[in-house]
Structure 1
Amino acid sequence: MPLQIYKRGHVYWAKGWIEYNGRPIAGPYRRSTKASSEEGARDWINYETERQIRRYVVGDEPSKTFSDAIMLYNASPKAAKQLIPIVEAIGDLSLGTISAALLKSLGPKLKPKASTDTWWREIVTPATAVINNAHELEGTPLIRVKPYDKFERIAQDKRRGKLSRVERTPADKEWIEAFCRAADPYNAALVRFMFETAARIDQAVSLEPDDLRPHENKVRVKAQKGHPESWITVSPQMMDELLALPPKRPKNRKTGKLMKARVFGYGSSTGYNTRWKTICKRAGIPYLSAHPAGRHGFFTELVVRQGVDPVTAAKAGRWSDPNLPMRIYAHAETDEADIRARFRTNHVQEDPVQTPKSKKSKKE
């Protein structure tokens, strides 16, 4: 029976055989076309039929290599930079021979001093994306990789002599106020804006004058990490602080040309670091980078210190899942020694009510 399509749920599947000159040459099929329309499903059947007939007449085509898969992948500049050493290591290997274990083994070779989290983020994830993109486009083998477990993470931390996933202290109101007293108006407004709105540093430094709606107390933050561009509400005091800053045109470090005017005057998401270290030293407070000072501090302040429910806090900070910030950002602030001391504390007990004993009647 030639290939036929049928619908399962919202997706069309194909079943049957591929035939050539009346003879079955490939099958039997019972496979998803991954198409939600009948037209898309028929396109898949046509492509698969041509591929199998060509294979039957000409023979197997040379296996696609990782380098071939790279040419099919539309990589961002950041991902392209991460993929360069990976291509040098496994570019000549056919996709069918690349296993999950092989991808995970690239970490110690390419970045021996990095953590397993870095290996996953900068090696395994981009390489997996390339391979699975080729699977979607050309039908090459799919790959699934199990994350590094805690034992692998601990062993790598021991080898490199450095802990990963170190708990970072979030900012509180006292830290923010001390920072602002020692800072210039631009950096004071920047840290207050991130602490109040949970904006990421790249969203904050990208603000332009047109991103402010003073009459509505609204600020436009750009799309980032899967979240679309949005207008967020700020306090009237925050808006006044933003409007008081004369916009600055930062210089592009690579081209040397002046960029568009920005609210905080920074041209990149890392330009603030040196200045903030100086401010923290002057204020006599520990240095915090933008994330613990802003987004991290925002959630801890609302949930832990002010008792706002996590769902409301997550929505205000533009997290799609409240479990994520609860797991990463909500730090308990009770000292461990205090917890232990509670087991040694003698609780004050109320004196039992003294009731007069009833006198037994003597038998006469």
Structure 2
Amino acid sequence: MPLEPIKRGRYYYAQGRVEYNGTPITEYYRKSTGSLTEAGAVDWIAVETAKRRRAYVVGPEAAFTFAEATMVYPASPKTAKKLIPIVKQIGDMPVESITEDVLKDLGRALKPDASTDTWWREIVTPARAVINKLHRTNRKFSAISVSSYTGEERNAQDERRGKLSRVEKQPSDRDWIERFCRAADVHNAALARFMFETGARIGQAVAITHAHLDPKKCQVQLKAQKGHKQTSIVVSPEMMEELQALQPKRTRNPKSGKLLEARVFGYVSSTSYNERWKRICAKAEIPYLSAHEAGRHGFFTELTVNIGVNPVDAAKAGRWKDPTVPMRIYAHSKADEAAIRGLFRTKLVQPLLNDATNNLKEKEKSDDE
């Protein structure tokens, strides 16, 4: 008997066997569909029948869909939000038939006006994680590797959307910080100075409460973030004095309205400072810089380019494990390109060439003697 809905109490059950061409291919079902209506039970039976028939024809691994794979993936709320549109697009696709081209092409369908960097971060990365987690759970499923978008692909998408991606970050300097602070309230001024002095991330900075301050050791405790464990950093006595003097501010969760614990800088999240900083920058008549540019980029550029601190020491102070990373991303040249080109036309070149020629002649003369 093929599967059919049977009402038992409040719920409808599926009863019978799944058949393929008139032949039973499963054990006998007597299972709740979880539906209170017959229509819902019929839909459940249709989905279950299609899945079992597909598994019977092509094998259980090949029949396992991406939507089913997401159900066994321990996604955080943030990742789950990214996965929802992906499941709507390829949820019915068997995992074994998903290729890197399928994942990379999803960007055009889901976020046609986004950059390839956004496609990689918001689509490829979470989808690949789901498939590879399934592989680690059951080796019968294949892992998937996806190559990065090429420069040509990135440029082509930028041209299509009429906007450049990977715009170079602009670091702050002492002058920008001072002008910002003169126009800012005490909390935002302290936030800018704290990030410029320590290289802390904005998410770490806004999470600081007065319980995280240790005045005796001049240390501030930072939460774990971006693969870095929770740690305490040393600040200048002036910075510690400024932080202690700040009146703690309590804010509410924008979604629940719940009153949150008092924080040193008063912000609830790593993005809630944005609008306030834009107004401060406009008032100070300085270009708007994000907290990441004013803090982390400004911190490393100030140490290595302006002050001349050894990059290894600067990286350690900013809690980078590999000094080549901040040198590649966070150190910004302050040199004037026109001035550098002008070096090739200075009068220093000719004397240097003459000296080299004379030295060579003297050496040849000495060899002859």
**Shorter-chain TM-score above 0.5:** yes
Query: How is 1:97-108 mapped onto 2 (pairs within 5 angstroms)?
Result: 97-108=97-108
Higher helix share: 2
Query: How is 1:89-238 mapped onto 2 (pairs within 5 angstroms)?
Result: 89-139=89-139, 140-238=141-239
Counterpart Cα distance in 1 of 2:336 and 2:199: 26
Q: Which runs of 5+ in 1 are unaligned?
A: 1-58, 353-364
Aligned to 1:86: 86
Secondary structure, counterpart of 1:215 in structure 2: coil
Aligned to 1:8: none
Query: How is 1:333-348 mapped onto 2 (pairs within 5 angstroms)?
Result: 333-347=334-348
Counterpart Cα distance in 2 of 1:61 and 1:175: 61
**Amino acid of the structure 2 residue aligned with 1:213:** D
Secondary structure, counterpart of 1:93 in structure 2: coil
Aligned to 1:67: 67
**Amino acid of the structure 2 residue aligned with 1:94:** P
**Amino acid of the structure 2 residue aligned with 1:83:** L
Aligned to 1:53: none
Counterpart Cα distance in 1 of 2:125 and 2:243: 39
Aligned to 2:242: 241
Aligned to 1:328: 329
Secondary structure, counterpart of 2:74 in structure 1: coil
Counterpart Cα distance in 1 of 2:295 and 2:59: 56
Displacement, 1:349?
4.3
C-alpha deviations, 1:300-349, integer Å up to 9, x for none? 11111111111111111111111111111111111111111222222284
Counterpart Cα distance in 1 of 2:186 and 2:173: 19
Q: Which runs of 4+ in 1 moved over 4 A?
A: 348-352
1:284 aligns with 2:285: yes
Q: Report sequence identity in percent.
A: 61
**Amino acid of the structure 2 residue aligned with 1:74:** P
Counterpart Cα distance in 2 of 1:223 and 1:81: 23
Displacement, 1:78?
1.1
Counterpart Cα distance in 1 of 2:266 and 2:131: 41
**Amino acid of the structure 2 residue aligned with 1:138:** N
**Amino acid of the structure 1 residue aligned with 2:87:** V
Secondary structure, counterpart of 2:167 in structure 1: coil
Counterpart Cα distance in 1 of 2:302 and 2:209: 28
Q: Quickly say closer, same or farther: Cα 1:113–1:60, change in 2 above 3 A.
A: closer
Aligned to 1:48: none
Secondary structure, counterpart of 2:60 in structure 1: coil
**Amino acid of the structure 2 residue aligned with 1:301:** E
Counterpart Cα distance in 1 of 2:189 and 2:127: 41
Secondary structure, counterpart of 2:220 in structure 1: strand
Secondary structure, counterpart of 1:219 in structure 2: strand
Aligned to 1:24: none
C-alpha deviations, 1:260-312, integer Å up to 9, x for none? 01001111212211111111111111111100000111111111111111111
Counterpart Cα distance in 1 of 2:176 and 2:267: 22
Secondary structure, counterpart of 2:216 in structure 1: helix
Q: Which runs of 5+ in 2 are unaligned?
A: 1-57, 356-369
Aligned to 2:300: 299
C-alpha deviations, 1:44-77, integer Å up to 9, x for none? xxxxxxxxxxxxxxx9436211111101111111
Secondary structure, counterpart of 2:221 in structure 1: strand
**Amino acid of the structure 1 residue aligned with 2:342:** A
C-alpha RMSD of matched pairs (Å)? 1.7
Counterpart Cα distance in 1 of 2:189 and 2:213: 18
Displacement, 1:91?
0.6
